[in-house]
Chains A and B, each alone.
Chain A
Amino acid sequence: MDSSERKLDAAPEDGVLTRRGFLGMAASMTAAATAAVVPKLGAAANAAANERDVIEVAIIGAGLAGLTAGRDLKRAGCESFVVLEARGRVGGRTLNHDLGNGYFSEAGGQWIGPGQTAVADLARELGVGTFPTYWQGKSTILAGNARAAVDTEGGFGTDPKIAHELEKLAQSVPSGAPWKSPRAAEFDAMSVGEWLAKKNIEPADQVGWSAGLAITGGASPARLSLLHWLSMVNSAECNYDRLEAVKDGAQQTRIAGGSQILSIKMAQALGDKVRLNSPVLRIENWQDGPVTIQTAKGVIRAHRVIMALQPALCQQIVYDPPLPEGRRELQRRWPAFAPGRKTSHVYKRPFWRDKGLNGWIFQPGGMVLWAYDNSPEDLSFGVINAFVQISMLPSDPKVAEAELSRIYAQAFGEEALHPLSYHEHDWRKADPWTLSCVSPMPPGFLTKYGEALHPPVGRLIWSGTETADIWAGYMDGAVRSGHKAALQALQGIAARRA
């Protein structure tokens, strides 16, 4: 597949060659025998005759955004759509580790917080329960050989004075379109780190800010745009704790059955409209439609396409003709460089709770960025999840498990040395279909390229959590973006029929 892709790449402007290459490819594919799949493309003269083979909407990406869009289309009475998914599973950046006996621990996005009403409503509609994240008790701090246990009251101990200053600045930065802030140029010209440096942060506190911004923002303070960070604070209704904390914050609530259950349930209801193992390689004729979508499993033709995947993944697809310059540059430069590696240690019981500990670990300068209690609601197991420093933790899972167990033993006691099982997921290496957890926007990006994030291009509707008006980057934003994209698609259908 690699070689034919390159061949097509080599001459994107040469229509004849492209079409020939395309035909060859289409013919060699084992197309599923459904009305939506055209086994081979005829000449332009056949296009009209093939009109009935054209579906209304193709959705690319079966994560929370794409599946929400599909669910909305179905609820609006539209049956003429498919959801194309590259992986052999649904859920995108949500993924459950199966702990057995119907219990799960999350490898990806997992929390709901105050104001995240879209994902909370979705859970209720799907009959999925929620429960509070555990934070009661003392957090453990490990540095070198020293250990301390401190009650951080469900938060990360951010200096309230500085947090309040950020809250005030965030009021002028609309969460979904930060480049529209009247102070956009000023805020986007500096990093959060540069802004903080002016506040004379003590060296020891710099360590805390660096860890906090890495966990929530996906990059070090010098590489995160202040404008971007303020837009995130704005998503949290300009309440810093609501963004950052567990108690009363965006990490407050968990999903019974693991966060991936939302996508699994939506996909079940959509049945065979969801096509797994169908990475999209090429999109043709996107300007006026019908759009031709070439996947690894055949060709789909659709009047419009919902692109429910983040911009850097949109960039992995070949467009013929090429996309307009603004959108092209946005995709080419999109900061998909915050890969995450998350681990789960499973124990018989959450024994740390008996010791007055909440299962949290901070390890400045060490390999654990943040560990936390991810036990199931009924405490059938004790689970410690961790965000880890990818570079420092050995890549061999067995060795990684043992190293982390030793760190947990230093924090919680010897019981931690013997987990029942260990799970981990390195999102950058597991498959090519994620690339990044959140998108750590560097200074200068949003004001220069942000305008191209939302407007549809021809028949392509951009979706995915990055495009959300509120809580972009979160599960909630994904659901919101799915609703919005479905409305845009339905509007297109209505206009065509009028």
Chain B
Amino acid sequence: MDKATTRTGGRKFFFRVGALMLAALLVAGVYYGPDVYGLLRVSHEIDTISQETAQLGPWPRATDSCLYCHDGPKGNAGTQLYPRLAGQQEAYLRKQLKAFASGERNDPTMTPFALSLTDREFESMVANFSRMRPQRNETFHGEPARIARGEALAKAGQCVSCHGQQLEGRDVFPRLAGQSYDYVVDQLNNFKSGKRHDASGMMPAVVNGLTPRDIEDLAQFLASR
């Protein structure tokens, strides 16, 4: 980035350091060197951040609202409690948002959220997360023995037949690789209790025979992929 752009960034920056004030700061730089230097560097960084986020679409973006709980701006989620959506298939995202809206997958947060979306917003959510590059679940640290046990359970349950060879998701079947640990445990329990419906009956059939420990081990394996 050239110097002129950096200056513009500084002038129009977050705290609206006005042109006059910036000039004053530059003069005062003799005494306050580090502060001015820091301010220019921060301005530069904020310019970079705003350019990066502009790639997600023109501001204001409806999808920014999702990022407080899901994924973060670059798909760099740290949470295990809220699901990671980066890299999910369009068909899956569409199906789930519709199920939230209809109440088929009733959730006090997501149902009113899905109901509030315009068609355009709805599709922007689907597009945004299907295009976001999925990342490894770096903040999950499983136990090797339990992960291995989970892997065997996944094989026995034939997860890959629907969810893809790398558990990367396929069509309406979600990506499971690197999913948030606690979220997976919750969902498997919900399928087991019937709280989450699956008209095909596939997920209840898979989880019905699983003990709570099985479910945890399976989630450890999936989160660590």
Q: Which of A115-123, A146-154, A372-380 contacts B (4 or more CB under 8 A)?
A: A146-154
**Bitwise interface map of A from 248 to 290 toward B, beta carbon under 8 Å scored 1, else 0:** 0000000000000000000000000000000000000000000
- Number of interface residues, chain B, beta carbon within 8 A: 59
Which residue of chain B has the shortest Cβ distance to A223 in the bound complex?
A: B65
| Interface membership of A30, Cβ < 8 A | no
**How far, in angstroms, from A123 to B116 measured CA to CA in the complex?**
37
Q: Is the CB of B108 within 8 A of A312?
A: yes
| Interface membership of B72, Cβ < 8 A | yes
**Bitwise interface map of B from 42 to 54 toward A, beta carbon under 8 Å scored 1, else 0:** 1111111111111
Q: Is the CB of B69 within 8 A of A205?
A: no
Q: Which of A52-60, A71-79, A333-341 contacts B (4 or more CB under 8 A)?
A: A333-341
Q: Identify which of residues 64-107 in chain B touch chain A, using a CB-to-CB cut-off of 8 Å.
A: 64-65, 67-73, 76-82
| Interface membership of A362, Cβ < 8 A | yes
Shortest beta-carbon distance, A391 to chain B, in Å? 5
**How far, in angstroms, from A222 to B124 measured CA to CA in the complex?**
12
* Given contacts A159-B16, A206-B59, A146 and B45 within 8 Å (CB-CB): yes
Residues of B within 8 A of A337 (CB): 65, 109-110, 112-113
**How far, in angstroms, from A219 to B16 measured CA to CA in the complex?**
22
Report which of A149, A196, A312, A338 forms a contact with B38, defined as CB distance below 8 A: A149
Shortest beta-carbon distance, A111 to chain B, in Å? 21
| Interface membership of B206, Cβ < 8 A | no
Q: Is the CB of A393 within 8 A of B78?
A: yes
Q: Give the size category of A's interface with B.
A: 35 or more
Report which of A159, A312, A390, A436 forms a contact with B82, defined as CB distance below 8 A: A390
**How far, in angstroms, from A210 to B42 measured CA to CA in the complex?**
17
Report which of A148, A203, A393 forms a contact with B42, defined as CB distance below 8 A: A148
Q: Is the CB of A389 within 8 A of B42?
A: no
Shortest beta-carbon distance, A288 to chain B, in Å? 29
Q: Is the CB of B68 within 8 A of A150?
A: no
| Interface membership of A421, Cβ < 8 A | no
Which residue of chain B has the shortest Cβ distance to A193 in the bound complex?
A: B60
Which residue of chain A has the shortest Cβ distance to B74 in the bound complex?
A: A365
**Bitwise interface map of A from 402 to 429 toward B, beta carbon under 8 Å scored 1, else 0:** 0100000000000000000000001011
| Interface membership of B193, Cβ < 8 A | yes
Shortest beta-carbon distance, B109 to chain A, in Å? 5
| Interface membership of A207, Cβ < 8 A | yes
| Interface membership of B182, Cβ < 8 A | yes
**Bitwise interface map of A from 308 to 346 toward B, beta carbon under 8 Å scored 1, else 0:** 000010011000000000000000111111110000000
Q: Is the CB of B12 within 8 A of A204?
A: yes
Residues of A within 8 A of B115 (CB): 332-333
Which of A2, A142, A146, A367 has the largest number of chain B CB atoms within 10 A? A146
**How far, in angstroms, from A210 to B68 measured CA to CA in the complex?**
12
| Interface membership of A25, Cβ < 8 A | no
| Interface membership of B62, Cβ < 8 A | yes
Q: Is the CB of A391 within 8 A of B64?
A: no
Q: Identify which of residues 184-214 in chain A touch chain B, using a CB-to-CB cut-off of 8 Å.
A: 191-194, 196-197, 201-208, 210, 214
Residues of B within 8 A of A403 (CB): 78
Residues of B within 8 A of A149 (CB): 35, 38
Report which of A205, A207, A392, A396 forms a contact with B77, defined as CB distance below 8 A: A392
Residues of B within 8 A of A193 (CB): 59-60
**How far, in angstroms, from A203 to B48 measured CA to CA in the complex?**
10
**How far, in angstroms, from A399 to B72 measured CA to CA in the complex?**
17
Report which of A207, A429, A435, A436 forms a contact with B81, defined as CB distance below 8 A: A429
* Given contacts A223-B65, A337-B112, A394-B139, A364 and B60 within 8 Å (CB-CB): no
Number of A-B contacts (CB under 8 A): 192
Which residue of chain B has the shortest Cβ distance to A151 in the bound complex?
A: B15
Shortest beta-carbon distance, B82 to chain A, in Å? 6
Q: Is the CB of B35 within 8 A of A332?
A: no
**Bitwise interface map of B from 23 to 49 toward A, beta carbon under 8 Å scored 1, else 0:** 000000000000100110111111111
Q: Is the CB of A392 within 8 A of B69?
A: no
Residues of B within 8 A of A395 (CB): 78-81, 182
Residues of B within 8 A of A220 (CB): 60-62, 64-65
Q: Is the CB of A146 within 8 A of B41?
A: yes
Report which of A144, A194, A362 forms a contact with B14, defined as CB distance below 8 A: A362
**How far, in angstroms, from A158 to B43 measured CA to CA in the complex?**
16
**How far, in angstroms, from A440 to B112 measured CA to CA in the complex?**
11
Which residue of chain A has the shortest Cβ distance to B108 in the bound complex?
A: A435
Residues of B within 8 A of A207 (CB): 14, 46, 49-50, 53
Which residue of chain B has the shortest Cβ distance to A365 in the bound complex?
A: B49
Residues of A within 8 A of B109 (CB): 336-337, 339, 428, 435-436
Q: Identify which of residues 157-195 in chain A touch chain B, using a CB-to-CB cut-off of 8 Å.
A: 157-159, 191-194
Shortest beta-carbon distance, A258 to chain B, in Å? 25
| Interface membership of B150, Cβ < 8 A | no
Residues of B within 8 A of A196 (CB): 60
| Interface membership of B174, Cβ < 8 A | no
* Given contacts A204-B47, A391-B71, A146 and B78 within 8 Å (CB-CB): no
Q: Other CB < 8 Å A-B pairs besides A207-B49, A339-B68, 10 of them?
A: A139-B15, A144-B49, A157-B16, A204-B12, A206-B60, A222-B121, A223-B64, A365-B49, A391-B70, A392-B76
Among all A-B residue pairs, the 7 with the closest Cβ atoms: A193-B60, A143-B45, A157-B15, A220-B64, A222-B60, A146-B41, A148-B38
Could you list 19 A-B pairs, sorted by A, with CB under 8 Å?
Answer: A141-B42, A146-B44, A203-B59, A206-B50, A220-B65, A222-B65, A222-B121, A223-B62, A364-B45, A365-B49, A390-B69, A391-B82, A392-B72, A392-B77, A394-B80, A400-B78, A429-B81, A436-B109, A445-B116
